[in-house]
Amino acid sequence: MTSTGRLAPRLPSPLEEIRDDRFDRRGLRLLLKRDDLIHPELIGNKWRKLAPNLAAAGGRPLVTFGGAWSNHLRATAAAGRLLGLPTTGVVRGHELADRPLNPSLSRCAADGMRLHFVDRSAYRRKDEPETLAALLRAAGAEDAYVVPEGGSNTAAVRGCRDLGAELRGHADVVAVACGTGGTLAGLAAGLAPGQRALGVPVLRGGFLEGEVTALQERAFGARTGAWSLDDRFHFGGYARTGPELDAFAEDFGQRHRLPVERLYVAKLLWGLVALAEEGAFARGTAIAAVVTGRPFPAAP
């Protein structure tokens, strides 16, 4: 059995149709692709991205990157604990080194991840070979297998293609919240002709189309599948929410008995409700929303 096999994922993840009057009255069907149920600790797209990288690592230590509230850092730390692999997290923000760890980073540390804090300028340049080499030296992780921020690399994008394949024949539109774009890149490649993928970025800046295209070109040789982005629903950027979004997420959760994660999933669902109200989907359209995570207990 492979190391990733020992993690016992639930695949394919469940697909549930729910009734919501905001979609029903417009003749739309809403389905939830419950990737949050794949694994209790390696949740959703984190499993799909990490599993191929863990296989490629071949038992070597792991080093990866993220911000102070990174879901990806927590998932990597959990994978290291479960598989007995040393992990190092390079964390954006050197000023955090002298502060108490927040609950997210505390979870990483409890799972055995060694945390190395770097200044934001160097972090922004981490994809430059010389900067990356210097960061790895400073972190004592020169021999580690490098998993990029968000887990989005060629192996991860190919792993996320399975998400699209699992949804073939089940929905006309498949929507997913996007951080680094790797899940959307693979999802779109796995869908059948006639289906399309919709990405809802949770970061502002309008840069993601080029990132997703580049990920697909590296993984598949060309831009692949029918996909688009709607960047109106980021609520000010990553880790930004606000009372209106919190109230929406709470209401949605109560309606459908679904714990709604705020930083990604709530923005996705908000965007789909808004698009339905705008008439963006033709009557009879089946929309699948990918639930990529669950709320972290102490997240902001």
* 299 pLDDT more than 50: no
Give the Cβ contact number of residue 222 at 10 Å: 8
Residues 6+ away with beta carbon under 8 Å from 189: 157, 161, 164, 216, 219, 220, 224, 225
d(CA 144, CA 152): 17
The whole-number pLDDT of residue 45 equals 84
Report the candidate in 182, 196, 139, 234 with the shortest Cα–Cα distance to residue 47.
Answer: 182
Q: What is the pLDDT of residue 223?
A: 98
Size (the chain), residues: 300
Is residue 43 scored above 80 in pLDDT?
no
Note the pTM of the prediction, 2 decimals. Answer: 0.91
> Which residues, including other chains, have CB under 8 Å from residue 44's CB and lie 6 or more apart?
35, 36, 38, 290, 291, 292, 293
Q: What is the pLDDT of residue 298?
A: 41
The per-residue pLDDT for 41 is 86
Is 70 known to be catalytic? yes
Q: How many secondary structure helices (H) and strands (E) does the chain include?
A: 11, 10
**Beta-carbon-side half-sphere exposure of residue 71 (alpha carbons within 13 Å):** 30
Name the strands in the sheet holding 196-201, side by side, starting at the edge strand that comes first in the sequence: 15-18, 29-33, 286-290, 173-178, 196-201, 227-229
The residue type at 84: G
59 exposure class (CB count in 10 Å sphere: 0-12, 13-18, 19+): exposed
Token pair, residue 220, equals 């598949």
Assess whether pLDDT exceeds 50 at residue 64. yes
pLDDT, tens digit, for every residue of 263-273? 999 999 999 99
- Please compute the mean of the pLDDT values over residues 219-239 and round it to a whole number: 95
Average pLDDT along the chain: 94
| DSSP structure string for 150-178 | GG-SHHHHHHHHHHHHHTTTT-SEEEEEE
> Residue 194's pLDDT is what?
97
Pairing of strands 29-33, 15-18: antiparallel
What pLDDT is attached to residue 169? 96
pLDDT value of residue 297: 74
Mean pLDDT of 156-164: 96
Residue range 150-157: mean pLDDT, rounded: 93
- pLDDT band per the 50, 70, 90 thresholds, residue 6: low
Catalytic residue among 13, 70, 104, 152: 70
pLDDT of 245: 97
Tens-digit pLDDT profile for residues 79-112: 999 999 999 999 999 999 999 999 999 999 999 9
- For residue 1, pLDDT over 70 is answered with no
Q: CA 268, CA 157: separation in Å to the nearest integer?
A: 20
